[in-house]
Chains A and B, each alone.
Chain A
Amino acid sequence: MPTRADTMPSTLYDKLWDAHLVRPESTDTPAVLYVDLHLIHEVTSPQAFDRLRSDGLAVRRPDLTVATMDHSTPTRRDDAGDFLYVTDQARIQVECLASNCGEHQIRLYELGAPEQGIVHVIGPELGLTQPGMTIVCGDSHTSTHGAFGALAFGIGTSQVAHVLATQCLLQRKSKTMRVRVEGSLQKGVTAKDLVLALIQQIGVGGATEHVIEYVGDAVRRLSMEGRMTVCNMSIEAGARAGLIAPDETTFEYLAGRPHAPSADDWDATVARWRELHSDADAVFDREVSMPAAEIEPMVTYGTNPGMSIPLHGEVPAPNGDAAIERALSYMGLEPGVPLLDHPIDVVFVGSCTNSRISDLRAAASILKTRRVADGVRMVVVPGSAAVKRQAESEGLDRVFREAGAEWRDSGCSMCIAMNGDALEAGQYCVSTSNRNFEGRQGRGGRTFLASPLTAAASAVAGCVADPRELLA
C-alpha cells in the first residue's frame, strides 16, 4: 500500500504522526501512538501509579520516563536550608513521587538536585527534548516542547497511567492550523507579545481540535527560548499542540546538551532532523496570518489569555458581552481606560512560559540601574536550578536583589499558586506566566499577563508601564 509520502504532500504534524503510529485509527478505534518521552511530576502522577498497583502493572519503559518536582514545591528555605512546604499534604505529594520513582526505577530530578526545575524548562535544557519525538506529560503546557519540532501535548492522569503501562496513547488525529508571522517584531516586542496577540486574534477556543504550526520569518528569527514561549501558550488558544520546524537555531541550541545525540551521531541525526518540515504544498485545515510589525507589547485586562490589549490600548467596553462584563467586574476595571499607569501590587517573573535565562536577562536589563517601586513586591523564580546557577554566574541575582526583588529557588510558584507563593485577594500582579484565570494566582488575585520586559518596567514604575521607554 502506498504511504502518504508517496501520494500527497504532508504537514510536519502528518510526518510526526505517521512516524509514531503503532496502529492506525479506524472509524471504530483511535490510533495507537507511541510516546518517545514521558515527563512526569508530582501533581498529576500519584493516581496513575495507584492504577498500576491496583492492576499489577509495571512501568513499561522507565528509560523513556523522566520525573521532576515543580508544582507543589517550595521556592523558599528556612535558615537551616530546609524547604518550606505550604502544607504537609504538599510535602507528602512530593515524597510520593520520590517513592513511586524509586519503586519503578524512574529517573527523578528531585527538589534540590542540580537538574531540578519546571518540567518544560528542564526537558529542553537537558537535551531530552529533541526534534521528531512524541512527548507527553500530565500538564497542558507540554505544548512548549513543540518548539523543537516534536509532537508534544498535555494529557490527563488516566493517560499518564496508559503511557506508564504501555508507552502508548489512544489518539484521534487533530486538524491543522498554520500561523504565519512575517516581517520583523518591533524593538521591545517579544515572543510573549506575539503569542498574546495571536490568542487575542483567534480566541481562547480558536484552535480547539487543532495542532498549530508556526511559520514565517518572524518565527524563524526567534531564539529557541522565544519559540518555547510561543508554543507554550498554544494551549491557551485551545490547541492540542504547537509546532515549529527545527532549523539551525534548534540544532545549535541542542548541540552539547547532556542528553543530546553524541558527537559521533550528531551529523547523521541532524540530517534526519532536517527532514522534519511541512512540504511546500502541504494543505492545512486553517490558515492564520499576523504581520509581525503590527504587534505591540501586549497586556491582558481580563480573566482569560485572549482578553488582551496593546499596552497603549484601552480596556474594551463589554457592549453586551457577558464574559467581558464579568471579567471587568472581577478585575475591578473600567472600560475605555488604558491599563498603562494602572497601579500594581506584585510582579511575578517566572513560569514555564517565561523563566528561562533570556527572560531573566531581559528583566534584569531593565532593573540594572533601577529599583522596584515602593509598595511593590517583585518575585523572580528561575525556571530551573540550572537557570538559577547561570543567572547567578552572570550576576543577575544581584541585580534583582539590589533592585529589591525576591530571588527564589526554581518551580512553578506563583503561576499556579499551589506552593504558598500566591497573591492576596484584590492584589494586582503583572505576571510573565500564562493564565490570568480568576483565582489562578491566588483567590481573588488579579493578573495582568505580559512579557518579562513589561513586567520589569512595571515593577520599576509601580504601575503597568511600557518597557520601550526604558530600553537602551
Chain B
Amino acid sequence: MSFEPFTVVTSPFVALPMQDIDTDRIIPARYLTVTDRSGLAEGLFADWRVDEQGNQRADFPLNHDDARGAQVLVAGENFGCGSSREHAPWALVDNGFRAVISTSIADIFRANALKNRLLAIDVAAESLGQLLEAGFGTVTIDLVERRVDLPGGTSVTFEIDPFARRCLLEGTDELGFLRSKEDAIAAFERRLEPRP
C-alpha cells in the first residue's frame, strides 16, 4: 500500500490544554461498534464537543472559528493514554488532523498514529506551553528537517523513529516491510519446531 508522502505541513493549530487525554475522550466507546473506519470524525471528542442535547459547545476549542481547517492538534502531556483503540487516530485523521504535538504521547497511541500518517511529535514543555497559551495560530511541521516552526519565529527540532519517518516520507506502510522479511520469518519458525 502506498500513500501521499508526508513532508511539510503548514496549518492552523488548535490547542487542548488538558493533560492525560485518554482515547475514551478522543472517541467514546459507543462509536466503536463499527466494522469499517469511515466517518469516525463524528465521534471525535464527542462528549466534549457536543452537549447532551446534541448542541455544539461554544467553549470547546475545536468548535472555535479559529480551529477551522486546523490540521495540527496541540495537547497536554500523556496524550492518547488508555485504550489501544485505533479508532482514536482514525477519528483525528477523518477530521483532517495530520499531526499531534505534546510533551509526551502514550506508546500505543503513538504507534497507531504513525501507521495512519498522523505525525506524533514530542516537544519540550516550554514550547508546548507557548502553543497552549496561544490556543490558536499557525505552525509549520517539516518532517524532512524534523523541525516545528512555532508562531513568533522560533523553531524546535523533534525526535522521531527513523523507520516511521522513512515510511511517512516515502508514503509506504510497515506491512510491506514486514512481508519482505518472509524468509527470516520462515527460518525462525523452523527453529521453533518442535515446540509445545
Give the chain B neighbours of A205 by CB distance below 8 A. 20, 77-78, 81, 104, 106
How many pairs, one residue from A and one from B, have CB atoms within 8 Å of each other in the complex? Answer: 174
Give the chain A neighbours of B35 by CB distance below 8 A. 46-47, 92-93, 96
Residue of A nearest to B103 (CB): A205
B112 touches A158 (CB 8 A): yes
Chain B 166-178 interface mask (CB, 8 Å, partner A; 1/0): 1000000111011
A90 touches B185 (CB 8 A): no
Q: Known contacts A323-B20, A437-B25; is A418 also within 8 Å of B33 by CB?
A: yes
Contact with A439, one of B36, B47, B85, B89 (Cβ below 8 angstroms): B47
Q: Chain B nearest CB: distance from A19 CB in Å? A: 10
B178 touches A165 (CB 8 A): yes
**Total number of A residues with any Cβ neighbor in B under 8 Å:** 68
Give the chain A neighbours of B32 by CB distance below 8 A. 43, 71-72, 418
Q: Chain A nearest CB: distance from B189 CB in Å? A: 8
**Total number of B residues with any Cβ neighbor in A under 8 Å:** 54
Cβ of A232 under 8 Å from chain B: no
Contact with B108, one of A90, A156, A322 (Cβ below 8 angstroms): A156
Residues in B138-177 with C-beta less than 8 Å from chain A: 161-163, 166, 173-175, 177
Q: Chain A nearest CB: distance from B169 CB in Å? A: 13
Chain A 123-144 interface mask (CB, 8 Å, partner B; 1/0): 0000000000000001110000
Q: How far is the CA of A372 from the CA of B52 in the complex (A)?
A: 31
Q: How far is the CA of A71 from the CA of B174 in the complex (A)?
A: 28
B20 touches A167 (CB 8 A): no
Q: Chain A nearest CB: distance from B112 CB in Å? A: 4
Cβ of A170 under 8 Å from chain B: yes
Give the chain B neighbours of A90 by CB distance below 8 A. 33
Q: How far is the CA of A133 from the CA of B166 in the complex (A)?
A: 31
Cβ of A32 under 8 Å from chain B: yes
Contact with B116, one of A44, A158, A209 (Cβ below 8 angstroms): A158
A93 touches B34 (CB 8 A): yes
Using CB atoms and an 8 Å cutoff, list the residues of chain A in contact with chain B: 22-23, 27-30, 32, 34, 43-44, 46-47, 50-51, 55, 71-72, 86-87, 89-90, 92-93, 96, 138-140, 154-159, 161-162, 165-170, 172, 204-205, 208-209, 235-236, 238, 240, 261, 265, 269, 304, 322-323, 326, 416-418, 425, 435, 437-440, 443-444
